[in-house]
């Protein structure tokens, strides 16, 4: 399975409950902005792989500021590993941006 397929499959599991948000150090450091929360990252990743007109540049800062500590994974009732998603998303972003050049 390639990174895009993994991203599509795993982002479907997120129920947007928000349990992950309060455990995220990146969210806290960035002024408690949803864009930097695990839930926000899942939303961005989902849009990135499912919406053809999504501008990848809009997700880069959020995806690359995840420090992959996996604290959100501990809190997630559906087992979404946002750290792993961030790693796959970085691969997806790199491939997409390199394809444009």
- CATH, domain 3-100, list 3.30.70.240, 1.10.1060.10, 3.40.50.300, 2.40.50.100: 1.10.1060.10
- The model's pLDDT over 44-96, given as tens digits with 9 standing for 90+, comes to 999 999 999 999 999 999 999 999 999 999 999 999 999 999 999 999 999 99
Q: What is the model's pLDDT at position 99?
A: 76
Share of the chain above pLDDT 90, in %: 91
- Looking at the chain, list the stretches that DSSP marks H as alpha helix, in order from N- to C-terminal side: 3-11, 25-29, 38-50, 57-64, 71-75, 82-100
- The model's pLDDT over 84-100, given as tens digits with 9 standing for 90+, comes to 999 999 999 999 988 76
User: Is the full-model pTM beyond 0.85?
Assistant: yes
């Amino acid at each position: 399975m390639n990174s895009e397929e993994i991203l599509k499959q795993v982002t479907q599991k997120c129920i947007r409950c928000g349990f992950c948000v309060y455990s995220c150090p990146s969210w806290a450091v960035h002024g408690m902005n949803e864009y930097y929360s695990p839930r926000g990252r899942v939303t961005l990743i989902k849009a990135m792989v499912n919406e053809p007109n999504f501008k990848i540049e809009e997700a880069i800062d959020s995806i690359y500021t995840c420090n992959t500590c996996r604290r959100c994974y501990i809190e997630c009732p559906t087992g979404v590993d946002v750290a792993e998603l961030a790693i796959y998303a970085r691969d997806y972003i790199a491939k997409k941006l390199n394809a444009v050049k």
